[in-house]
Structure 1
Amino acid sequence: MHIKEIADKLKVSPRTIRFYEEKGLISPDKNDENQYRVFTDKEAWRLQTIISLREVGMSIQQIEQVLAEMDEGDSEEVLYYLELQRAVIFAEQVRLKQVINTLDHMINHYKSESSCSWESLWELAAQCKRTELERTNWMDRWNFDKQAASYDQQVQTVQESFHVHKDYDKVLDKVLEWIRPQNHEIGLEIGIGTGNLAGRFLGRGIQIKGIDQSKEMLKQCKQKYPEIETRIGNFLAIPFTDHCFDFIVTSYALHHLTPEQKILALEEMQRVLKPGGRLCIADLMFIDEQERASYLEQWKQRGRKDIIKQIEDEFYADRSQLLDWLQKNGARTQIEQINEILHLVYAQWSSKS
């Protein structure tokens, strides 16, 4: 096929096709006599792939990476890029929802005020900006891709004085017990890691899905539990539609978010839960800031600056703040402290919400 024929077939302009050629994404043969571009079936298929990826919002650079992986026959990496793009689109959906909410507040404020206060409107816009920065500024400072292969061994390794995974199996068993899953229900684990918690639900015949920002963790999970549907994603933009899960569980993950990000995470979890949905968090936290200060002081008195540094490198939650948000947003709560730093927080919303 010549360029006009394939452009008509794929419903794009010849100019678009020439653009992809200039970017090096396609390289059609040229007729020696007249230099007309000649598209083989292979080039037509490649061009169709490019157009499809552009339709879902991929950049030229991302498409270039996908095509390189396809050329090398690495279907797993291609799937990763597609899933990553899905996560990006969900994150954009969450951002747009926040912008719409801000506009609604501005409109209502403007209608209700006899003389519009631009300072108030400016503060609403600034708050929207701060929220967006909290959503987008998270980064994996702990390199979970690198930890993935040895993670299961790490959680079972007993450390002499400060063991963050103390009572690991006990607390995962309790999450399953507290959620009380039913056979007809569908659950979600956020920060699924290698699947140690989700596997307990699977063993009971419960359908559970999982998300994680680490592709290597998801690879480990898939090797152990190929039946579990997993997606690239995180607390701040859960890549599922509203009200689609009966319950959500998460373990040893929330403490990687700042206090402000934790609130955004709770909002996201409530968004994807059905009315009457349940949430169970097993994580490293303190009852309140006073307990945190007291705990750190104990280690300071023992000269263990290394342990203090380890704790301060992460964001152990103030449990009272989590409970305050959950209760203000209509959830009935239950708590249990497992050890000095490990807590369970359970929440259930009304089925009428």
Structure 2
Amino acid sequence: MGLEFVDLFDRWAESYDQTVAGVDEEYKEVFEGYGQILNEVAKRSSGHILEFGVGTGNLSSLLLAKTDDFTGIEPSEKMRLIATKKLNHTILPGDFLHFPSLDKQVETIVSTYAFHHLTDEEKREAANLYSELLNTGHKVVFADTMFINDDAKNEIIIDAKKKDHLNLAEDLQTEYYTTIPMLTDIFEESNFDVSFQAMNTFVWILEATKR
């Protein structure tokens, strides 16, 4: 799942922090309010926190500031090395669907800017897995690019092309960005109550609470 993107993550590792800081004009809107987005995800997290797609460890640093009860998972070796050095905390290899066995009950599963690397079917598989992993009242909190509907997604792609943001337009067409109705169905079918909060033009926070 999403492992077709690992080479991209490896290449992006050294410049990722500059990208999220808004240096790249094409992706500036995608990462608008980046710090606020991370803080909001961290604020909604408690207990033993499991993070998927740690990247260079920006969200992880906020989580580790509030708890030592944290497990981080990242498929890219280069990203893991950067995060481990930054955090002074071991980050484990794995992805949204395949990761080491955990010896403690997880209470919050978090991720930022990563869930779109799964197809909708893989997202469904992940939601089912998390439903089995979490107890009632525990949460999934994901921040990612998603769209109100397919028309809204197409309008964003057209706008990106008009602005000559061709790399962004290609990403939106080739990666597995999905819609809020699709994510609602996926998580409700897996026994979650789900809500969404818009954080910028692209990014929403999905909060799914296990029934």
TM-score, normalising length from structure 1?
A: 0.54
Q: 1:313 aligns with which of 171, 174, 194?
A: 174
Larger Rg: 1
Q: 2:108 aligns with which of 247, 250, 255?
A: 247
Deviation at 1:303, TM superposition (A): 6.2
Q: 1:232 to 1:169 in 2, by over 3 A?
A: same
Q: 1:162 to 1:145 in 2, by over 3 A?
A: closer
2: CA distance between counterparts of 1:322 and 1:254?
A: 11
The equivalent residue for 2:62 is 200
Gaps of 5+ in 2: none
Give the counterpart letter for 2:170 in structure 1: K
Q: 1:221 to 1:138 in 2, by over 3 A?
A: closer
SS of equivalent residue, structure 2 residue 70: strand
SS of equivalent residue, structure 1 residue 143: helix
The equivalent residue for 1:21 is none
- Structure number having the greater helix percentage: 1
Deviation at 1:206, TM superposition (A): 4.4
2: CA distance between counterparts of 1:291 and 1:165?
A: 18
Q: Does the aligned pair in 2 maintain the 1:208–1:229 contact within 8 Å?
A: no
Q: Does the aligned pair in 2 maintain the 1:155–1:165 contact within 8 Å?
A: yes
Give the counterpart letter for 1:304 in structure 2: D
Do structure 1's residue 189 and structure 2's residue 58 form an aligned pair? no
Deviation at 1:140, TM superposition (A): 2.2
Q: Does the aligned pair in 2 maintain the 1:299–1:305 contact within 8 Å?
A: yes
SS of equivalent residue, structure 1 residue 275: coil
Deviations for 1:192-244, whole angstroms, at most 9, x for unmatched residues? 11111111011113411100111111111111112x34211001223225983
Q: 1:145 aligns with which of 6, 10, 13?
A: 10
Q: 1:223 to 1:295 in 2, by over 3 A?
A: same
Do structure 1's residue 345 and structure 2's residue 206 form an aligned pair? yes
SS of equivalent residue, structure 1 residue 291: helix
Please give the residue correspondences for 1:270-285 in structure 2 after superposition, counting only pairs within 5 Å.
270-285=131-146
Q: 1:318 to 1:146 in 2, by over 3 A?
A: same
Q: 2:126 aligns with which of 265, 271, 278?
A: 265
SS of equivalent residue, structure 1 residue 348: strand
The equivalent residue for 1:154 is 19
SS of equivalent residue, structure 2 residue 44: helix
Deviation at 1:269, TM superposition (A): 2.5
1: CA distance between counterparts of 2:20 and 2:40?
A: 17
2: CA distance between counterparts of 1:276 and 1:244?
A: 13
Deviations for 1:95-153, whole angstroms, at most 9, x for unmatched residues? xxxxxxxxxxxxxxxxxxxxxxxxxxxxxxxxxxxxxxxx5x84226521222222222
The equivalent residue for 1:173 is 39
Deviations for 1:60-87, whole angstroms, at most 9, x for unmatched residues? xxxxxxxxxxxxxxxxxxxxxxxxxxxx
Do structure 1's residue 323 and structure 2's residue 184 form an aligned pair? yes
Q: Does the aligned pair in 2 maintain the 1:195–1:221 contact within 8 Å?
A: yes
**Paired positions, count:** 209
Q: Does the aligned pair in 2 maintain the 1:281–1:345 contact within 8 Å?
A: yes
Identity of aligned residues (%): 28
SS of equivalent residue, structure 1 residue 194: coil
SS of equivalent residue, structure 1 residue 209: strand
Q: Does the aligned pair in 2 maintain the 1:242–1:272 contact within 8 Å?
A: no
Give the counterpart letter for 2:4 in structure 1: M
The equivalent residue for 1:215 is 77
Give the counterpart letter for 2:86 in structure 1: K
2: CA distance between counterparts of 1:222 and 1:205?
A: 16
